[in-house]
A and B are shown apart, each in its own frame.
Chain A
Amino acid sequence: MNAPNKSGWKPEMGPASDGEAPATASGDYALALEEPLIFELRGKGKCGVDFDYDPGEPSPEIAKFVRKKDVELPALAEPETVRHYTRLSRQNYAIDLGPFPLGSCTMKHNPRLNEAVARLPGFADIHPLQPMDTVQGAFAVIEQLADWLMKLTNMSAVAMSPKAGAHGELCGILAMRAALEARGDAREVVLVPESAHGTNPATAAFAGYKVENIPATKDGRVDLAKLKERLGPDVAGVMITNPNTCGLFERDMKAISDAVHAAGGLVYCDGANFNAIVGKVRPGDLGIDAMHINLHKTFSTPHGGGGPGSGPVVLSAALAPFAPIPFLRRDDKGRLRMVEERSAKTHAPESFGRMAAFHGQMGMFTRALAYILSHGADGLRQVAEDAVLNANYVLRSLEDVLDAPYADAGPCMHEALFSDDNLPDGMTTLDIAKGLIDEGFHPMTVYFPLVVHGAMLIEPTETESKIGLDRFIGSMRSLAERAKAGDETLKSAPRYAPRRRMDEARAARKPVLTWKAAPGQPGEPSLSEIGGS
């Protein structure tokens, strides 16, 4: 049951008020609203869409394929539909509601101008296989964005089609593998730091490589000496995140690239954290061969509750010939042409092939382009600077109450990393995270990177104001102090969220992945079943 937030601006500490406030008959508490599943809303015999055409009977040729009865799914009228989803939306935390400091996720403000331009019919209502002369403006968007991504990274080429960051990683690794195979130098191992995102080893394995860890130095960076020792004729390359997942810039990146190249390998850079350096550092200057750029992080396209993303991959001159199709070129008349299967033999004979249907995440390209236009080269520098400033401000404002393993070594980049070392026995990172929920914030990334015990990785991004950060810092300090004081109430946080801690073991033990009607009541439960607690 949800307890009301009695003080409005700042929830009061102390026991939940379950016992004080009377239970309601509806199970709802003012604006804390429960919502049944659509299958429990008596969605029979109605429809939220009107049709103005009578189709008659299907043609006789397909009679044998026609289904005997309709798909068994409920429908709601429009007002019910709007209400259902609006009520559900209120059970979500979101950037629009407050800071969302998930490390490595770059949860920044999503400008609404971008939403408006992506919906222009000239972009939203065009088909990917229209004759190319009818979509020159769409091609121009892709070309312009591609050009600017290359300039921001000082790289030779860019593959625009990958659908998300991990898909971009795959693109980069496949280009590396194709390049190595083309020179008759099949290799089998990819080296990945222990602190890497899980997608790195998963991607390398998916592309058929064995994965080995690169150890880190005490100051949280790749151990260059150990890396050099391991390099050899079996190593296809490395995957390095820079800035890395400890929030630190890999000072030796250029030396790493040079050493890998000298050993005949290639360098993949995970660009998930590009927001820290956009406009300030061009990764191509550090000798890398490939890097994906999450448009849904650095370039502000919305995360949408888990996608869609977009992960263009910039490539070095060495890898450019192996880039996937499709890609754009200008013909001798200056018209933009998409190089697809038909023209690949001429214009991309060494391409490793296609990664997905059509041309990539166009809806994300328009948004990202609008974002770059809005900020400009000057504004993007300011983005990186403010993101780094905000993270260092959080780091220095909390390092006296939480263990910050790399804080003594110097500044962090766009995210501040803490461990659970200062917390007393029995108090965990998870308790701090769940306490943060009650404070009205989304928790930071927890238990990642794996190299730090009980990691708390905080990425405020540049779109947080100082007053917002000060509130967040105030809450974090309070939580750290409560944890140190052994405040057991933290163990039962969150109390003020739509749900308390969830039984995840039960969900996995006997998975219930779809809704099934109670016996004898297909889609028509009694009122008591839908009436809340």
Chain B
Amino acid sequence: MRYLPLTETDRSAMLEKIGASDIDALFADVPAEALQKTPIAGLPLHASEMAVERHMKRLAAQNLSAADAPFFLGAGAYRHHVPATVDHIIQRGEFLTAYTPYQPEIAQGTLQVLFEFQTQVARMFGTDIANASMYDGSTACWEAIAMAGRITKKSRAVIGAIHPHYLATSQTMARFTGDTLVPVTPVLSADAGEDAVIAEIDETTSAVVVQYPDILGRIPDLQKIADAAHEKGALLITVVTEPVALGLLESPGSLGSDVVVGEGQSLGVGLNFGGPYLGLFGAREKYTRQMPGRLCGETVDADGKRGFVLTLSTREQHIRREKATSNICTNSGLCALAFSIHMTLLGGEGLGKLAAINHARAAHAAKRLGAIKGVELVNTGGFFNEFTLRLPGHDAREIAFRLTKRGILGGVSMGRLFPDHDEMGEGLLVCVTETVSDEDIGLFADALEEELA
């Protein structure tokens, strides 16, 4: 077998050294009735590289990939061009096949990248600090709510128009921790609903959680919500599912957010059918010791040379066990590397350009699609690269499905995201990034027009 270097000669020699008669002598502690004597039924036997590749290619061919269709999906997962450099570097074995940098003397490559990554994220978010990444945006969102509870000693969080999966993930956890979540369900309107969120804040509120831009693509007035939250002693947690937006929009940290979490998949990572992704987590410096997840810090070695280590691990499970700030162990290291390389290629100015292009492409598409008879643009108050169309009298799920029959991946239906809110069913969330051409927009518009006619 190509992944196993031991030969039969090796195995015999090693058994002899061990003093075991055969291999099953080493499994002597397994009760005889539980030890499988033959290969487990129902699985195939070993296969060559060529055969495995053929099998996997056949499965891959059963999917309609974004590259093969005009593509307009977003809703927490965004398709951006990833420079070839990114994938080349993350496949270097020194990054790909390293472990968590617990031995810093021989892990400075990973550690320096994490330090650079933390700085990049903090500056994008406008926060003092950022951690070395979380599993993804949705789990980072819950971790932020839990952290706000630790800081404020309160347990009632008000939740605005965030991604419904983020809300659902947090609700799962809250059910077990005893936190109360108060969701303010969005409606299909241009108003980003700040007042409805603010109306729910009271003295018992630990955190207010809003998304920027929100799940309908609207841009909420963060400063207004921050002021209202702070007045009642609550923290503002801002969720960013599309970090490219921060190339164009003011950073959440500069608008009063105390904690900023997000999904970093947009930069460097790719769609990957939803995972692995990259949780981003930034906060004010005074909350450092309440942060979940790994932190990389600067220090010196015995010769006084600058170097980096994982630090403040007394917050973490391997030291604190049941008293840890989180049970998190793995982060999303390789995705953080991909994000960081992409950000290094872009820089602040390049991110600004990329964001401006996204916005311009989306504005163009919104104008074209909004002009179709039977289509209303919800986001008349502005959007970044994602906006909601209202299709009065239609279930947008059905329209999205029929568009695929024409070879077009035409957005995410609000009905899939908000199944319990029938009034959202007419909404179609459309995302337009730099990867979408004028021709794609034309094909989409023509198809939508015909479907609605």
Contact = CB atoms under 8 A, between A and B. Distances in A.
B64 A130 contact: yes
B139 to A, nearest CB: 5
B63 A308 contact: no
Interface in A354-395: 354-364, 366, 369-370, 372-383, 385-386, 388-390, 392-393, 395
10 contacts: A94-B98, A128-B273, A249-B27, A309-B330, A357-B277, A396-B18, A443-B103, A502-B105, A502-B301, A513-B297
B382 A65 contact: yes
B139 A356 contact: yes
Interface string A448-475: 1000000000000011111010000000
B199 interface: no
Given A134-B63, A136-B62, A305-B113, 6 more contacts: A58-B248, A198-B324, A310-B276, A353-B168, A358-B76, A513-B298
Contact of B36 (A37, A280, A358): A280
Of all A-B residue pairs in the complex, the 8 with the closest CB atoms, nearest first, are A75-B347, A122-B60, A358-B274, A137-B62, A304-B334, A96-B93, A128-B274, A48-B345
A373 B44 contact: yes
Interface stretch (A97-105, A228-236, A260-268, A420-428): A97-105
Nearest to B381: A61
Contacts of A78: 83, 85, 345
A208 B172 CA distance: 13
A94 B85 CA distance: 21
Interface string A60-96: 0110011110111111101001101110111111111
Interface in A481-533: 492, 494, 497-504, 506-508, 511-515, 533
Contact of A97 (B61, B94, B328): B94
Interface in A23-71: 35, 37-39, 43, 46-49, 51, 53, 55-56, 58-59, 61-62, 65-68, 70-71
B52 interface: yes
A293 interface: no
A353 B107 contact: no
A113 B381 contact: no
B329 A164 contact: yes
B34 A285 contact: yes
Given A66-B250, A353-B171, A507 B311 contact: yes
Interface string B28-68: 11110111100111111111010111011111111111111
B371 interface: no
A307 B133 contact: yes
Given A356-B135, A375-B3, A514-B130, A89 B95 contact: yes
A281 B34 contact: yes
B422 to A, nearest CB: 12
Contact of A382 (B1, B10, B31, B332): B1
Given A75-B350, A352-B172, A411-B29, A498 B108 contact: yes
B52 A117 contact: yes
A73 B351 contact: yes
B241 to A, nearest CB: 9
Contacts of B373: none
Interface in A133-147: 133-138, 140-141, 147
B254 to A, nearest CB: 8
Given A198-B319, A366-B56, A463 B63 contact: no
B334 A302 contact: yes
Point out which of B88, B132, B409 has the most chain A C-beta atoms below 10 A from its C-beta. B409
Interface string A105-121: 10101110101110111
Contacts of A308: 135, 275-277, 330, 332-335
B118 interface: yes
A356 B329 CA distance: 16
Point out which of A96, A324, A514 has the most chain B C-beta atoms below 10 A from its C-beta. A514
Interface string B277-301: 1000000000010000011111111
A110 B417 CA distance: 36
B436 to A, nearest CB: 11
Point out which of A46, A55, A364, A442 has the most chain B C-beta atoms below 10 A from its C-beta. A55
Contacts of A374: 1-3, 46-47, 49, 52
A47 B351 CA distance: 10
A205 interface: yes
B246 interface: yes
Contacts of A500: 105, 301-303, 305
B345 A121 contact: no
Interface stretch (B147-155, B174-182, B444-452): B174-182
Interface stretch (A4-12, A165-173, A312-320): A165-173
B337 interface: yes
Given A251-B31, A411-B20, A304 B404 contact: no
Given A67-B248, A376-B47, A499 B108 contact: yes
Contact of A94 (B76, B93, B248, B356): B93
Given A67-B250, A375-B3, A512-B297, A353 B175 contact: yes
A131 interface: yes
A78 B344 CA distance: 9
Interface residues of A, number: 200
Interface string B259-277: 0000100000011111111
B34 A38 contact: no
A65 to B, nearest CB: 5
Contacts of B129: 513-514
B135 A85 contact: no
Contacts of A477: none
A163 to B, nearest CB: 4
A131 B348 CA distance: 35
Contacts of A117: 52-53, 56-57, 60
A361 to B, nearest CB: 4
Point out which of A43, A120, A286 has the most chain B C-beta atoms below 10 A from its C-beta. A120
A93 B106 contact: yes
A116 B53 CA distance: 9
B124 A71 contact: yes
Interface string B90-103: 11111111111111
B331 interface: yes
Nearest to A127: B73
B233 interface: no
Contact of B172 (A47, A109, A354, A363): A354
Given A70-B247, A96-B97, A279-B39, A466 B6 contact: yes
Contacts of B353: 47, 51, 55
B297 A393 contact: no
Contacts of B303: 1, 500
Given A70-B352, A123-B273, A353-B172, A38 B116 contact: yes
A167 B135 contact: yes
A93 B3 contact: no
Contacts of A492: 302
Point out which of B41, B43, B415 has the most chain A C-beta atoms below 10 A from its C-beta. B43
Given A48-B345, A501-B105, A377 B271 contact: no
Contacts of B44: 373, 376-377
Point out which of B83, B129, B168 has the most chain A C-beta atoms below 10 A from its C-beta. B168
Nearest to A359: B274
A254 interface: yes
Contact of A497 (B13, B106, B294): B106
A479 interface: no
A203 interface: yes
Contacts of A378: 39, 45-46
A303 to B, nearest CB: 5
A22 interface: no
A179 interface: no
Given A369-B56, A501-B105, A81 B79 contact: no
A354 B301 contact: no
Point out which of B107, B273, B307, B363 has the most chain A C-beta atoms below 10 A from its C-beta. B273
Point out which of B11, B47, B330 has the most chain A C-beta atoms below 10 A from its C-beta. B330
Contacts of A248: 29
